[in-house]
Amino acid sequence: MNKFKPNHITRALLASGMLLGSPALFAQDASNDASSEEEAVEVIEVKGFSTSLIKSLNQKRFSDTVTEQLSADDLGGLPDVSIADALTRLPGISAVRTGGQAAEINIRGLAGDFVFSTLNGREQVSTSGSRSIEFDQYPSELITSGAVYKSPKASLIEGGVAGTVELKTASPLANTQQHTFNMNVRGMYNDRAKEVSDADEFGHRLSFSYQGKFADDTLGVALGYARLFQPSVSTQFIGLASNREKDVDGLAGDTENFNPNLPENEQCVECEIIGEGFEMQHKGGAETRDGYVASIEWAPVDNFTLKADAFYSKFDSEAFARGFRVKLEAPNVAVGNPTIVDNTVIGGTFNRSGGGFTRVELVNDDNQDFDEIKNFGLNGNWEITDNWTANFDISSSSAESDFRNGLLWSLVAEDANAESPQLDENISISYLLNGLDLPDLGFNQADAFSDINRVLVSKYGIYPFQNSDKLDAYRLDFKYQLENDYVSSIEFGARYSDRTYTNDRSVYEYGSDSNFSSTQPPLRLTQDMVEVVNWEGDFSYFPSYLSIDLDKALNAWFPGGIPQPRQTWGGFDGVINAPDDVLLGGDTSWSVLQSGEVYEEVTSAYVMANLDMELGGMPVTGNVGIRMVDSKQASTFLQDVDGDIDAGAQIIRDEVGLASDQFRSVILEDTYTDYLPSLNLNFQVADNSYVRFAAAKVMGRAPINEMFANTGVRVSLPLAERDIDTGEITVTGQATASGQSDNSPYLRPFYANQYDLSFEHYFTETDGAIALALFYKDIRSFVDRSTTDPYDFRANGFNVPETVDLIVQEDDGSGTGTLIPVLDANGLPLTTTVPVVDGSYTTAVNNGEGGYIRGVEFSYTQIFSFLPDLWSGLGANVSYSYTETEITRISDPNQGIYSSDLPGLSPVVFSGTLFWEHEGFETRINARYRDPFVSQQVAVNAQVVNFDSEMVVDFQASYEINENLGILFQANNITDEPTKSYFGEESRTGTIQYFGTQFFLGVTYSL
């Protein structure tokens, strides 16, 4: 193998021992060449925690693209619950916290849907229900290295507009020792759990790993297990969206609510905007994650290696949410002393009025989320000749998620012990939002919330989200080594993947959340079912309430067995076999219509030249290539054809046997081809200084759940009222058709042209480096929502009736404003016919306007080894990024989008770690800050809202008792940094959520 000619960077890698996991092609005669170059290329090598940082710098230094790196020591030694925490310390990378833990990664101002992720070079599917990877599924203890590619190359799988996160598990034959064993055991405590009744205060983390080499180092085995059991607690206030209207100030000539995009006669221009209400909750429960990794590596001959590996992660969360949900139900509410900011009511006194539904619901929610990830792969690497290398890879990645949100509503009765209990309609609610601080609150029913003689359970509902995602992939790559002064090798290959995403919805409902149902009567509580819960700390002025044992309540309410959710048409008008003696309840056809599958087939091929030359005596390396991507995507769809057999109407049965003949089942399909060129150039401008330039066209497919076709059209009915004195019938409003298609199988990918320029200098007098990078992304398109109003539904193939019949109502004469149906001479409801007019239609589209995202990143790492002995282990690792964009989204509160800012973008992101090591003792403190940003939160429905800035601080200290045994203490989120969100303006409070500080104490053992 004398034809192999390593370049300067490869020699440095070999000298540093960093190519131990590379193909055998690099391992034999090349190592002899490297030894002669060892003095010519400086490689940073130190001991202790600093090693992890410096290894990361070495990997960054000798990479052929713009990357950020994490070493195995870094991932295993820092206080990281998951790989997500470790990644957030890299420049330009931030995280969105879910339940207080980092889960979604944002890179360079782009949200998780723009981030592509691989494990051992293989595409990963997700339990998120989209393409966004939930990185908290990946235990940091089982990942041996991580890289973030900020500039792509042709051999990388396409998909990362923001960047590509590459995670790797152990390669046992690359282990420098014959056998290694590591164990980590930590106990855990959450200091906020004591404020939440029935919450777990204590948890644990433990991990075991083994690597061994056998049969003269031709067979390697790696096994790993990591377990996390942690309390999941928070205390929170949630302001619901401001999407209702009512004129509360009575000002003459007030037109502040005018929307120039809509006809004035269809608006309430004098109205103010009022929120749906708000929630106050204690959340508790536990999260359990079990992760397993295994690999077998076999090298029967010098030029062939076969590796099989598996990764499995199961993440179960069982949580409860207890407290209040206040529903103001404007406009049918009396409002006194309103506080108005920017035409939005942020406070006042709200009294229930006749015909209104203003209420306070006592909620006892039970949320269970069972997530599972499986990854299997087989990889073979064959050095066919001195110049030819071939690599094949077969893989399967699957994810399943089963989220079951059981909800139990209770209401206040006049007398809960009455034979026919009546809702206490004397309801008065006073509140004032205080921006990003907790609000002022007052309830006239406050004493009743904890009185078992006043509270009745009125409704139970469960609404599961179940999805599965499976991807099988096959890949073949070749590399041909060249002998010239410009191109060191040519790489080319092809890949095929087949992906199926399935979404299933189901439902069960019993009772009513706005009153006591006579046909589905409420449940009387007993003392053994309830506990009075008080609020503590900053929330202590909130009123006490009854916490209800969900299992006991449901067993008493349904003695024959707790009903289970089903995918069913329910009370849908199109049911053709509804039994006469069974109450079907509300229309739950959405559980059928929102269930289906998305299919995706991708065939790609690439060719890439690896560059190695000198220009004017300056070493230049890099690559240039192009990737072709052929995509085919499809979705199942139930198309409403109004029962027309000629149009393909079919009888479709649900899980309980109900049938509808309104729809036909079709598959919608789209295909397209893309070409993605890329260039990476690395200039060694001095012995320890590098300039990098990269340019590429990149793509990222739309979230896979947004490719599921789910068009829905409805006709909103106006009120037809007969004057009790004159008999005249008045229709208020119009019968208006409206529809939306949140998703579309015809969505094309996000596209961007991107450019990177960076400078890196590696210190010689001390250990460390400083780097400055500029980046520019020209986003060509992204997925957005577009609304057409009015939209011609009939002309576009929708089955919308020309007219509808309205049931005429009149006042019942009680003085409460209650309306009752008017009966005709035959005792049937009196009706009047009105025309149906076209309203708005909203659909997901590829927004072609796009725009730029640009920014600067700075990173600095240094170990101050020049200091006197005691302080020679002091060091710092700092990163800073600034990002800006001209891109705006369509803000549409009706679609749950309350900000026009680009999701995921924080102008400033900062991470800083200060560490110190001395004679086996290590301590470090890390702070991670991000500016305000936009992301998704889940309240009553999914919403895109603003989040306030965050500063999360962690601390860790450890001591090596001997070469095998160590002790560790760490504290995460030591300032109990909350998550705070708002709807466009800080005065419109969203979520204020506190998670507590987590403390760990444990031991590490290694052999």
Domain spans in the chain, listed from the N-terminal domain onward: 208-224+234-384+402-449+509-551, 710-743+789-849
Q: What is the mean pLDDT of residues 539-563?
A: 92
Residue of 293, 328, 337, 342 lying closest to 169 (CA atoms):
293
Q: Which residues contact 849 (CB under 8 A, 6 or more apart)?
A: 781
Whether 252 shows a pLDDT value over 70: the answer reads yes
Report the mean per-residue pLDDT for the chain: 86
Sort residue 215 into left (φ over 0), alpha (ψ -120 to 50) or beta. left
In which residue are the tokens 């229309």 written? Answer: 587
The token pair at 648 is 């393909």
Cα atoms found within 13 Å of the Cα of residue 56, Cβ hemisphere only: 32
Q: According to DSSP H, which parts of 471-576 are helical?
A: 550-557
The pLDDT assigned to 848 comes to 60
β-pair type (809-811, 819-821)? antiparallel
CA distance 11 to 413: 80
Q: What is the mean pLDDT of residues 448-454?
A: 95
**What DSSP designation does 265 have?**
G
Whether 576 shows a pLDDT value over 80: the answer reads yes
Phi and psi dihedrals of 161, rounded to 5?
-70, -40
Tell me which amino acid residue 717 is.
L
Three-state DSSP class for residue 604: strand
Whether 14 shows a pLDDT value over 60: the answer reads no
pLDDT band at 817 (very low <50, low <70, confident <90, very high): low
Q: What is the mean pLDDT of residues 799-809?
A: 85
Tell whether the torsion through CA atoms of 864, 866, 868 and 872 is positive or negative: positive
Q: Where are the beta strands (DSSP E) in 153-233?
A: 163-168, 179-190, 202-214, 219-231
The pLDDT assigned to 747 comes to 86
Tell whether the torsion through CA atoms of 535, 539, 543 and 546 is positive or negative: negative
CA distance 438 to 417: 35
The token pair at 57 is 């710098």
236 burial via Cβ count (<10 Å: 0-12, 13-18, 19+): buried
In which residue are the tokens 């990830």 written? Answer: 373
Three-state DSSP class for residue 646: helix
CA distance 862 to 493: 40
User: H or E element: which one contains 391?
Assistant: strand 388-412
The token pair at 920 is 């086996």
Whether 406 shows a pLDDT value over 60: the answer reads yes
Percent of the chain at pLDDT above 70?
90
Three-state DSSP class for residue 12: helix
Q: At what angle do helices 8-15 and 29-37 cross, to 10 degrees?
A: 90
Instruction: Please provide the DSSP assignment of 900-948 as one string.
Output: -SPTT--SEEEEEEEEEEETTEEEEEEEEEE--EEEEEESSSEEEEEE-
Whether 645 shows a pLDDT value over 80: the answer reads yes
Cα atoms found within 13 Å of the Cα of residue 320, Cβ hemisphere only: 19
Of the candidate ranges 4-8, 386-390, 576-580, the one whose mean pLDDT is the lowest: 4-8
Sort residue 15 into left (φ over 0), alpha (ψ -120 to 50) or beta. alpha
Whether 633 shows a pLDDT value over 90: the answer reads yes
The pLDDT assigned to 389 comes to 97
**What DSSP designation does 478 have?**
E
Total H helices, total E strands in the chain:
7, 54
The pLDDT assigned to 26 comes to 33
pLDDT band at 72 (very low <50, low <70, confident <90, very high): low
Residue of 77, 25, 26, 15 lying closest to 51 (CA atoms):
77
Whether 145 shows a pLDDT value over 90: the answer reads no
Q: Give whichever of 131-145, 378-392, 947-961 has the largest mean pLDDT.
A: 378-392
769 has which bridge partners?
762, 861
947 has which bridge partners?
933, 981
Residue of 549, 554, 544 lying closest to 527 (CA atoms):
549
- Note whether 750 and 692 are within 8 A (CB): no
CA distance 55 to 768: 10
What Å distances lie between residue 13 and 134, 389, 686, CA to CA? 32, 20, 18
Whether 834 shows a pLDDT value over 70: the answer reads yes
- 3-state secondary structure string across 16-49: CCCCCCCCHHHCCHHHHHHHHHCCCCCCCCCCCH
Q: What is the mean pLDDT of residues 888-894?
A: 66
What Å distances lie between residue 47 and 59, 132, 861, 919, CA to CA? 17, 36, 15, 11
The token pair at 672 is 């397209």
Length of the chain: 1007
pLDDT band at 24 (very low <50, low <70, confident <90, very high): very low
CA angle, 143 as apex, 142 and 147 as ends, to 5°?
170
pLDDT band at 942 (very low <50, low <70, confident <90, very high): low
- Note whether 779 and 753 are within 8 A (CB): no
Three-state DSSP class for residue 961: coil
CA distance 331 to 329: 6
Helix, strand, coil shares, percent, the chain, to 5: 10, 55, 35
Starting at the edge strand that comes first in sequence, how are the strands of the sheet with 122-123 ordered? Answer: 67-70, 145-149, 163-168, 115-119, 122-123
- Note whether 517 and 523 are within 8 A (CB): no
984 or 461, greater pLDDT: 461
In which residue are the tokens 């759940």 written? Answer: 705
CA angle, 107 as apex, 55 and 948 as ends, to 5°?
120
The token pair at 588 is 């739950």
Tell whether the torsion through CA atoms of 859, 865, 866 and 869 is positive or negative: positive
- Note whether 976 and 937 are within 8 A (CB): no
760 has which bridge partners?
690, 771
Tell whether the torsion through CA atoms of 347, 353, 358 and 360 is positive or negative: positive
The pLDDT assigned to 80 comes to 60
